[in-house]
Amino acid sequence: MIKHDVGEKFPGMRDHILGEESNMFTNTAGESVEVTIQSTPEETKLLLTKVLDENQEAAALLAEALHATPDTVLDSRLQDLNFDLDMDSIGIWIDPIDSTSEYIKGIEDEEPKSGVYWHGLQCAVILIGAFHRETGSPVLGVVNQPFSKQDPESKSWTGHSFWGVSHGDFHCNSLLSSQGSSTTPISRNGLAFTMSASEEAHTKDAFSSLGRVHFASGAGYKILCVIEGHVDAYILTKGSTFKWDTCGPQAILKSLGGGIVDYQKWKSSSTDAENGNFLASAGLKYDKPDSEEPVSEGQKWSNSGGIIAYIDAEVLKKIHGASQD
């Protein structure tokens, strides 16, 4: 849908909309179907029934959603954004569902700890990021959290979308108040981090001695915890995230004065003065794979050295110290 809608509005971007998923599906009869948006909902429904093993109801609901035109602008501030951007030089990374396993499990009654959900539907997010094709730098990002809050009575969910733009000197995001000031930071004692539960025990121990660690699900959700200020950083020491996981969230962090850097490169950089120079160019890039010959095709677009997502660069220095242990 994004490929179709964005490609129609900006034809120069059409061939540069990339992401984790493919639109080729194979149904139980072994028939391969390429799903694209057709000119009418009826035609799209017809195509979808082939993929959905003739489930007419599901196909009709999906076709209706795909062809719907939202009549409300979610955030009126988006209409007032004014900056120059050559749309023909932009590419897009999309992860249509991050934290797929939490989405499939569909657990609704998790309780957050210090604002962070370790599991549950809250961890499932949609990630969309735009980057400059020439420099590889992220410029615009959206994180959509469709299951943000549940009404205890009706059990229905309300979503929450976050967006940010960072282009040259222009920075703007959905976390700024309508007066343009930053929201009040969440106060807490000491440092707090999010990490993957799959990290090695010695890595968990090293960072637990530096601050409180929350082992939350979902790479996108863990970065969202940094964006929202529930934690100071998300530390991942291995290459288990991909360009589609980090492009959008990194643009939002940049718009807040932070970013995402390569964990291994940061670890092996020297601390003091060099860090300033390092940070100026250290943000993850999105125009080409990290290495020319990746270990496997599946790892081609991985953020191979791991990542640190942060807002305050001072926190990075403390992480540097702990990562040497």
| Among 102, 199, 245, 262, interactor with Ca ion by CB under 5 A | 245
- The window from 64-72, 174-182, 223-231, 239-247 that contacts ligand 2IP (CB under 6 A) reads 239-247
If one asks whether residue 95 binds Ca ion (CB under 5 A), the answer comes out as: yes
Residues in contact with Ca ion, total (CB under 5 A)?
5
Helices (H), the chain: 2-9, 41-51, 56-67, 100-105, 201-208, 219-227, 243-255, 263-268, 272-281, 313-323
Contacting ligand 2IP (CB under 6 A), which of 44, 49, 99, 166? Answer: 99
Alpha carbons within 13 A on the beta-carbon side of 68: 9
Cβ(141)–Cβ(92) below 8 Å:
no
Cβ distance to Ca ion smaller for residue 97 or 140: 97
- For residue 98, say whether it is annotated as part of any ligand binding site: yes
Stretch that binds ligand 2IP, among 98-106, 200-208, 265-273, 281-289 (CB under 6 A): 98-106
HSE-up (13 A, CA, CB side) for residue 83: 14
Residue 240 as a binder of ligand 2IP (CB under 6 A): the answer is yes
Q: Any alpha helices (H) in 142-242, and if so which ranges?
A: 201-208, 219-227
Residue 296 in contact with residue 302, Cβ under 8 Å? no
Q: Supply φ then ψ for residue 155, to 5 degrees.
A: 70, 10
- Residue 320's CB is within 10 A of a number of other CB atoms, namely 18
Quick check: 95 binds ligand 2IP (CB under 6 A)?
yes
If one asks whether residue 20 binds Ca ion (CB under 5 A), the answer comes out as yes
Q: Based on the shown chain and the rule CB under 6 A, indicate whether residue 98 belongs to the binding site for ligand 2IP.
A: yes
* Residue 141 backbone zone (phi > 0: left; psi -120 to 50: alpha; other: beta): beta
Q: CA-to-CA distance for 189 and 218, rounded, in angstroms?
A: 25
| Chosen from ligand 2IP, Ca ion, none, partner binding at 196 (C-beta under 5 to 8 Å by type) | ligand 2IP
| Segment interacting with ligand 2IP (CB under 6 A) among 10-18, 65-73, 96-104, 143-151 | 96-104
- Distance of closest approach, residue 102 Cβ to ligand 2IP, in angstroms: 7
**DSSP per position, 265-280:** HHHHS-SHHHHHHHHH
97 is in an annotated binding site: yes
**287 contacts Ca ion (rule: CB under 5 A):** no
State yes or no: residue 217 binds ligand 2IP (CB under 6 A).
Answer: yes
**Partner that binds at residue 199, options ligand 2IP, Ca ion, none, CB closer than 5 to 8 Å by kind:** none
Residue 232 interacts with, from Ca ion, ligand 2IP, none (CB under 5-8 Å by kind): none
- The yes or no reply on residue 98 touching Ca ion (CB under 5 A) is yes
What contacts 175, CB < 8 A, 6 or more positions away?
Answer: 162, 164, 182, 183, 227, 228, 256
For 265-291, b where at least 16 C-beta lie within 10 A, e where not — what string? ebbebeeeeebeebbeebbbbbeeebe
CA dihedral (289, 293, 298, 304) positive or negative: negative
| Of 25-33, 72-80, 91-99, 276-284: span binding ligand 2IP (CB under 6 A) | 91-99
91 binds ligand 2IP (CB under 6 A): no
Is there a binding annotation on residue 151? no
Rounded Cα gap, residues 58 and 103, in angstroms: 18
217 binds, among ligand 2IP, Ca ion, none (CB under 5 to 8 A by kind): ligand 2IP
The binding site for Ca ion (CB under 5 A) comprises 20, 95, 97-98, 245
Can you say which residues are annotated as belonging to the binding site for Mg(2+)?
A: 20, 95, 97-98, 245
The binding site for ligand 2IP (CB under 6 A) comprises 20, 95, 98-100, 196, 198, 217-219, 240-242, 245
